[in-house]
Chains A and B, each alone.
Chain A
Protein backbone atom coordinates (compact mmCIF):
# COMPACT_ATOMS: atom_id res chain seq x y z
CA UNK A 1 0.00 0.00 0.00
CA UNK A 2 2.73 2.49 1.08
CA UNK A 3 4.95 1.47 -1.81
CA UNK A 4 2.17 2.20 -4.31
CA UNK A 5 1.48 5.58 -2.70
CA UNK A 6 5.15 6.58 -2.92
CA UNK A 7 5.29 5.52 -6.60
CA UNK A 8 2.17 7.58 -7.39
CA UNK A 9 3.63 10.63 -5.59
CA UNK A 10 6.97 10.35 -7.38
CA UNK A 11 5.16 10.06 -10.72
CA UNK A 12 3.04 13.14 -9.98
CA UNK A 13 6.07 15.22 -8.95
CA UNK A 14 7.96 14.13 -12.08
CA UNK A 15 5.04 15.02 -14.34
CA UNK A 16 4.41 18.45 -12.84
CA UNK A 17 8.04 19.59 -12.81
CA UNK A 18 9.16 21.28 -16.03
CA UNK A 19 12.64 20.54 -17.32
CA UNK A 20 15.30 23.22 -16.83
CA UNK A 21 16.92 24.59 -19.97
CA UNK A 22 19.99 26.77 -20.25
CA UNK A 23 18.75 30.30 -20.99
CA UNK A 24 20.39 32.22 -23.81
CA UNK A 25 19.35 35.87 -24.20
CA UNK A 26 17.34 36.48 -27.34
CA UNK A 27 17.66 39.64 -29.43
CA UNK A 28 14.48 41.02 -27.82
CA UNK A 29 15.97 40.41 -24.36
CA UNK A 30 19.04 42.39 -25.38
CA UNK A 31 16.87 45.19 -26.78
CA UNK A 32 14.88 45.33 -23.55
CA UNK A 33 18.00 45.32 -21.41
CA UNK A 34 19.32 48.41 -23.23
CA UNK A 35 15.88 50.04 -23.47
CA UNK A 36 15.49 49.70 -19.69
CA UNK A 37 18.49 51.99 -19.18
CA UNK A 38 17.30 54.68 -21.58
CA UNK A 39 14.48 57.16 -21.06
CA UNK A 40 11.97 58.49 -23.54
CA UNK A 41 12.89 62.13 -24.34
CA UNK A 42 9.28 62.87 -25.28
CA UNK A 43 7.46 61.54 -22.20
CA UNK A 44 9.69 62.28 -19.19
CA UNK A 45 10.55 59.62 -16.59
CA UNK A 46 9.36 56.74 -18.77
CA UNK A 47 11.94 54.08 -19.61
CA UNK A 48 12.07 53.07 -23.25
CA UNK A 49 11.16 49.45 -22.55
CA UNK A 50 7.72 50.28 -21.09
CA UNK A 51 6.92 53.41 -23.12
CA UNK A 52 4.01 52.92 -25.54
CA UNK A 53 4.50 55.92 -27.81
CA UNK A 54 5.39 55.61 -31.48
CA UNK A 55 8.67 57.43 -30.79
CA UNK A 56 9.75 54.79 -28.26
CA UNK A 57 8.72 51.95 -30.58
CA UNK A 58 10.92 53.54 -33.29
CA UNK A 59 13.86 53.82 -30.89
CA UNK A 60 13.49 50.18 -29.80
CA UNK A 61 13.63 49.26 -33.49
CA UNK A 62 16.79 51.37 -33.81
CA UNK A 63 18.36 49.46 -30.90
CA UNK A 64 17.45 46.16 -32.56
CA UNK A 65 18.91 47.30 -35.88
CA UNK A 66 22.15 48.43 -34.26
CA UNK A 67 22.48 45.15 -32.35
CA UNK A 68 22.06 43.28 -35.64
CA UNK A 69 24.77 45.48 -37.13
CA UNK A 70 27.08 44.20 -34.37
CA UNK A 71 27.22 47.35 -32.21
CA UNK A 72 27.92 46.88 -28.50
CA UNK A 73 25.51 48.02 -25.78
CA UNK A 74 27.84 50.88 -24.84
CA UNK A 75 28.08 52.04 -28.46
CA UNK A 76 24.28 52.07 -28.70
CA UNK A 77 23.94 54.06 -25.48
CA UNK A 78 26.59 56.51 -26.70
CA UNK A 79 24.69 56.94 -29.97
CA UNK A 80 21.48 57.79 -28.13
CA UNK A 81 23.24 60.27 -25.82
CA UNK A 82 25.00 61.97 -28.75
CA UNK A 83 21.79 62.22 -30.75
CA UNK A 84 19.18 63.06 -28.11
CA UNK A 85 21.23 64.49 -25.24
CA UNK A 86 21.84 63.32 -21.69
CA UNK A 87 18.12 63.36 -20.93
CA UNK A 88 17.91 59.84 -22.34
CA UNK A 89 20.02 58.53 -19.47
CA UNK A 90 18.49 57.74 -16.09
CA UNK A 91 21.11 59.89 -14.34
CA UNK A 92 23.32 62.75 -15.58
CA UNK A 93 27.00 61.92 -16.21
CA UNK A 94 29.23 62.79 -13.24
CA UNK A 95 31.05 65.74 -14.81
CA UNK A 96 31.05 69.55 -14.60
CA UNK A 97 27.93 71.16 -13.17
CA UNK A 98 26.26 67.73 -12.94
CA UNK A 99 28.44 66.92 -9.92
CA UNK A 100 25.99 69.01 -7.88
CA UNK A 101 23.34 66.32 -8.38
CA UNK A 102 25.63 63.77 -6.73
CA UNK A 103 27.22 66.00 -4.08
CA UNK A 104 24.18 67.84 -2.75
CA UNK A 105 22.39 64.78 -1.28
CA UNK A 106 25.60 63.68 0.49
CA UNK A 107 26.22 67.22 1.73
CA UNK A 108 22.59 67.44 2.91
CA UNK A 109 22.95 64.16 4.78
CA UNK A 110 26.17 65.27 6.49
CA UNK A 111 24.63 68.61 7.49
CA UNK A 112 21.51 66.82 8.73
CA UNK A 113 23.62 64.57 10.96
CA UNK A 114 25.58 67.57 12.28
CA UNK A 115 22.38 69.51 13.05
CA UNK A 116 20.80 66.45 14.70
CA UNK A 117 23.93 65.87 16.79
CA UNK A 118 24.03 69.46 18.05
CA UNK A 119 20.29 69.47 18.73
CA UNK A 120 20.35 66.22 20.71
CA UNK A 121 23.41 67.36 22.66
CA UNK A 122 21.76 70.69 23.52
CA UNK A 123 18.58 68.91 24.56
CA UNK A 124 20.43 66.41 26.78
CA UNK A 125 22.50 69.15 28.44
CA UNK A 126 19.38 71.18 29.08
CA UNK A 127 17.57 68.18 30.61
CA UNK A 128 20.50 67.14 32.80
CA UNK A 129 21.01 70.54 34.40
CA UNK A 130 17.87 72.64 34.65
CA UNK A 131 18.65 76.33 34.93
CA UNK A 132 18.30 77.43 38.55
CA UNK A 133 15.89 80.28 39.11
CA UNK A 134 16.87 83.03 41.46
CA UNK A 135 13.82 83.90 43.57
CA UNK A 136 15.07 87.42 43.96
CA UNK A 137 14.66 88.08 40.25
CA UNK A 138 11.01 86.96 40.18
CA UNK A 139 8.18 89.45 40.70
CA UNK A 140 7.17 89.58 44.35
CA UNK A 141 3.51 88.69 43.69
CA UNK A 142 4.55 85.40 42.01
CA UNK A 143 6.79 84.41 44.93
CA UNK A 144 4.03 85.19 47.46
CA UNK A 145 1.46 83.22 45.48
CA UNK A 146 3.84 80.26 45.09
CA UNK A 147 4.59 80.13 48.83
CA UNK A 148 0.91 80.40 49.67
CA UNK A 149 0.02 77.52 47.34
CA UNK A 150 2.85 75.39 48.70
CA UNK A 151 1.58 75.92 52.23
CA UNK A 152 -1.95 74.94 51.22
CA UNK A 153 -0.70 71.87 49.44
Chain B
Protein backbone atom coordinates (compact mmCIF):
# COMPACT_ATOMS: atom_id res chain seq x y z
CA UNK B 1 0.00 0.00 0.00
CA UNK B 2 1.42 3.43 -0.90
CA UNK B 3 2.84 5.40 1.97
CA UNK B 4 0.48 8.36 1.47
CA UNK B 5 -2.63 6.19 1.87
CA UNK B 6 -1.25 4.82 5.13
CA UNK B 7 -0.68 8.40 6.33
CA UNK B 8 -4.22 9.47 5.33
CA UNK B 9 -5.76 6.50 7.18
CA UNK B 10 -3.62 7.17 10.24
CA UNK B 11 -4.55 10.87 10.31
CA UNK B 12 -8.26 10.07 9.86
CA UNK B 13 -8.26 7.53 12.69
CA UNK B 14 -6.45 9.94 15.03
CA UNK B 15 -8.90 12.71 14.03
CA UNK B 16 -11.90 10.52 14.76
CA UNK B 17 -10.53 9.46 18.14
CA UNK B 18 -9.87 13.15 19.02
CA UNK B 19 -13.39 14.11 17.93
CA UNK B 20 -14.91 11.29 19.97
CA UNK B 21 -12.83 12.21 23.04
CA UNK B 22 -13.81 15.87 22.71
CA UNK B 23 -17.49 14.92 22.54
CA UNK B 24 -17.21 12.64 25.57
CA UNK B 25 -15.39 15.34 27.55
CA UNK B 26 -17.98 18.00 26.71
CA UNK B 27 -20.80 15.65 27.70
CA UNK B 28 -19.10 14.57 30.91
CA UNK B 29 -18.49 18.05 32.30
CA UNK B 30 -20.54 18.64 35.46
CA UNK B 31 -23.10 21.39 35.97
CA UNK B 32 -21.73 24.88 36.65
CA UNK B 33 -21.29 25.35 40.39
CA UNK B 34 -18.90 28.31 40.60
CA UNK B 35 -17.32 31.09 38.58
CA UNK B 36 -19.00 33.67 36.37
CA UNK B 37 -22.59 32.79 35.44
CA UNK B 38 -23.15 32.40 31.70
CA UNK B 39 -25.15 35.36 30.44
CA UNK B 40 -28.47 34.87 28.70
CA UNK B 41 -31.63 36.66 27.69
CA UNK B 42 -34.93 34.94 28.34
CA UNK B 43 -38.27 35.97 26.91
CA UNK B 44 -41.21 35.24 29.16
CA UNK B 45 -44.44 33.54 28.07
CA UNK B 46 -45.94 37.05 28.04
CA UNK B 47 -43.21 38.43 25.78
CA UNK B 48 -41.13 40.36 28.36
CA UNK B 49 -37.34 40.04 28.27
CA UNK B 50 -34.87 39.60 31.09
CA UNK B 51 -31.07 39.59 30.84
CA UNK B 52 -28.98 38.01 33.56
CA UNK B 53 -26.05 40.45 33.25
CA UNK B 54 -28.45 43.35 33.91
CA UNK B 55 -29.35 41.90 37.31
CA UNK B 56 -25.98 42.67 38.95
CA UNK B 57 -26.43 43.69 42.56
CA UNK B 58 -29.28 41.23 43.02
CA UNK B 59 -29.33 37.62 44.08
CA UNK B 60 -30.71 35.48 41.26
CA UNK B 61 -32.23 32.02 41.51
CA UNK B 62 -32.45 30.17 38.20
CA UNK B 63 -34.73 27.15 38.17
CA UNK B 64 -34.90 24.75 35.21
CA UNK B 65 -38.22 22.92 35.05
CA UNK B 66 -40.73 21.21 32.76
CA UNK B 67 -44.43 20.48 33.10
CA UNK B 68 -43.85 16.76 32.35
CA UNK B 69 -41.29 16.52 35.17
CA UNK B 70 -42.85 14.99 38.28
CA UNK B 71 -40.12 16.08 40.77
CA UNK B 72 -40.56 19.67 39.52
CA UNK B 73 -44.10 19.55 40.88
CA UNK B 74 -42.73 18.70 44.34
CA UNK B 75 -40.86 22.01 44.58
CA UNK B 76 -43.11 24.33 42.53
CA UNK B 77 -45.29 25.59 45.38
CA UNK B 78 -42.29 26.11 47.67
CA UNK B 79 -40.39 28.12 45.06
CA UNK B 80 -43.37 30.44 44.56
CA UNK B 81 -43.70 30.85 48.34
CA UNK B 82 -39.97 31.62 48.66
CA UNK B 83 -40.18 34.12 45.81
CA UNK B 84 -43.02 35.98 47.51
CA UNK B 85 -41.03 36.00 50.75
CA UNK B 86 -37.83 37.37 49.17
CA UNK B 87 -38.90 39.48 46.18
CA UNK B 88 -38.75 42.73 48.14
CA UNK B 89 -35.27 41.94 49.47
CA UNK B 90 -33.45 42.04 46.13
CA UNK B 91 -33.88 38.43 45.07
CA UNK B 92 -34.96 37.60 41.52
CA UNK B 93 -36.35 34.20 40.56
CA UNK B 94 -36.16 33.06 36.94
CA UNK B 95 -37.97 29.93 35.77
CA UNK B 96 -36.42 28.41 32.66
CA UNK B 97 -38.87 26.07 30.97
CA UNK B 98 -36.96 23.17 29.38
CA UNK B 99 -38.25 21.29 26.26
CA UNK B 100 -41.92 21.69 26.98
CA UNK B 101 -45.18 22.27 25.21
CA UNK B 102 -46.22 25.89 25.72
CA UNK B 103 -49.82 24.92 26.48
CA UNK B 104 -48.72 22.46 29.18
CA UNK B 105 -46.16 24.90 30.58
CA UNK B 106 -48.78 27.65 30.92
CA UNK B 107 -51.20 25.19 32.55
CA UNK B 108 -48.46 24.20 35.03
CA UNK B 109 -47.76 27.84 35.97
CA UNK B 110 -51.47 28.40 36.49
CA UNK B 111 -51.87 25.20 38.51
CA UNK B 112 -49.17 26.24 41.00
CA UNK B 113 -49.99 29.97 40.88
CA UNK B 114 -46.43 30.83 39.86
CA UNK B 115 -45.93 34.56 39.45
CA UNK B 116 -42.15 34.94 39.10
CA UNK B 117 -40.50 35.40 35.70
CA UNK B 118 -40.82 32.32 33.51
CA UNK B 119 -40.07 31.65 29.87
CA UNK B 120 -39.31 28.86 27.43
CA UNK B 121 -35.67 28.02 26.79
CA UNK B 122 -35.73 28.18 22.99
CA UNK B 123 -33.32 25.64 21.51
CA UNK B 124 -32.26 24.64 25.08
CA UNK B 125 -29.50 27.25 24.87
CA UNK B 126 -29.58 28.34 28.52
CA UNK B 127 -29.78 24.70 29.62
CA UNK B 128 -26.62 23.95 27.64
CA UNK B 129 -24.77 27.03 28.89
CA UNK B 130 -25.28 25.92 32.48
CA UNK B 131 -24.36 22.34 31.42
CA UNK B 132 -27.59 21.19 33.05
CA UNK B 133 -28.27 17.47 32.92
CA UNK B 134 -31.98 17.32 33.65
CA UNK B 135 -34.86 18.94 35.49
CA UNK B 136 -35.34 20.23 38.10
CA UNK B 137 -32.03 22.00 38.62
CA UNK B 138 -31.56 25.28 40.48
CA UNK B 139 -28.57 27.64 40.28
CA UNK B 140 -27.69 30.40 42.70
CA UNK B 141 -26.15 33.61 41.35
CA UNK B 142 -24.64 36.13 43.74
CA UNK B 143 -24.82 39.91 43.53
CA UNK B 144 -21.45 39.89 41.73
CA UNK B 145 -22.77 37.70 38.89
CA UNK B 146 -20.94 34.55 40.00
CA UNK B 147 -22.50 31.13 40.52
CA UNK B 148 -22.56 30.06 44.18
CA UNK B 149 -23.65 26.45 44.01
CA UNK B 150 -26.62 24.60 42.66
CA UNK B 151 -29.30 22.11 43.64
CA UNK B 152 -29.51 19.10 41.35
CA UNK B 153 -32.95 17.65 41.98
CA UNK B 154 -36.07 18.91 43.70
CA UNK B 155 -35.93 21.24 46.69
CA UNK B 156 -38.26 19.76 49.29
CA UNK B 157 -38.41 19.40 53.06
CA UNK B 158 -36.59 16.08 53.01
CA UNK B 159 -34.70 16.33 49.73
CA UNK B 160 -31.27 14.75 49.45
CA UNK B 161 -30.09 17.40 46.99
CA UNK B 162 -31.17 20.50 48.95
CA UNK B 163 -33.79 20.91 51.61
CA UNK B 164 -36.15 23.89 51.79
CA UNK B 165 -34.34 25.07 54.91
CA UNK B 166 -30.94 24.88 53.18
CA UNK B 167 -32.39 26.79 50.23
CA UNK B 168 -33.56 29.66 52.45
CA UNK B 169 -30.22 29.67 54.28
CA UNK B 170 -28.47 29.91 50.92
CA UNK B 171 -30.52 32.97 50.00
CA UNK B 172 -29.68 34.62 53.34
CA UNK B 173 -25.98 33.87 52.82
CA UNK B 174 -26.01 35.36 49.33
CA UNK B 175 -27.90 38.45 50.50
CA UNK B 176 -25.34 38.98 53.29
CA UNK B 177 -22.36 38.52 50.96
Residues of A within 8 A of B (CB): 41-42, 53-55, 58-59, 61-62, 65, 82-85, 100, 104, 107, 111, 114-115, 118-119, 122
Further 16 A-B residue pairs, CB within 8 A, beyond A58-B103, A83-B122, A84-B123: A41-B124, A54-B68, A54-B104, A55-B100, A58-B68, A61-B101, A65-B103, A84-B124, A85-B123, A104-B16, A111-B8, A111-B12, A115-B5, A118-B2, A118-B5, A119-B1
In the complex, residue of chain B having the shortest beta-carbon distance to the beta carbon of A114: B5
Classify chain B: how many residues form its interface, as a range: 20 to 34
Give the chain A neighbours of B68 by CB distance below 8 A: 42, 53-55, 58
The answer, yes or no, to whether B77 is at the interface (CB within 8 Å) is no
The answer, yes or no, to whether B136 is at the interface (CB within 8 Å) is no
* Bound Cα distance A111, B100 (Å): 44
Q: Is the interface of B mostly helix, strand, loop or mixed?
A: helix
In the complex, residue of chain A having the shortest beta-carbon distance to the beta carbon of B99: A41
Given A83-B120, A111-B9: A61 in contact with B103 (beta carbons within 8 A): yes
Residues of B within 8 A of A (CB): 1-2, 5, 8-9, 12, 16, 19, 66-68, 99-104, 120, 122-124
In the complex, residue of chain B having the shortest beta-carbon distance to the beta carbon of A53: B68
The 24 sampled A-B contact pairs (Cβ below 8 Å) are A42-B68, A53-B68, A55-B66, A55-B99, A55-B100, A55-B101, A58-B68, A58-B100, A58-B104, A59-B101, A61-B101, A62-B101, A62-B102, A62-B103, A82-B122, A84-B124, A85-B123, A100-B19, A104-B16, A111-B8, A114-B5, A118-B5, A119-B1, A122-B1
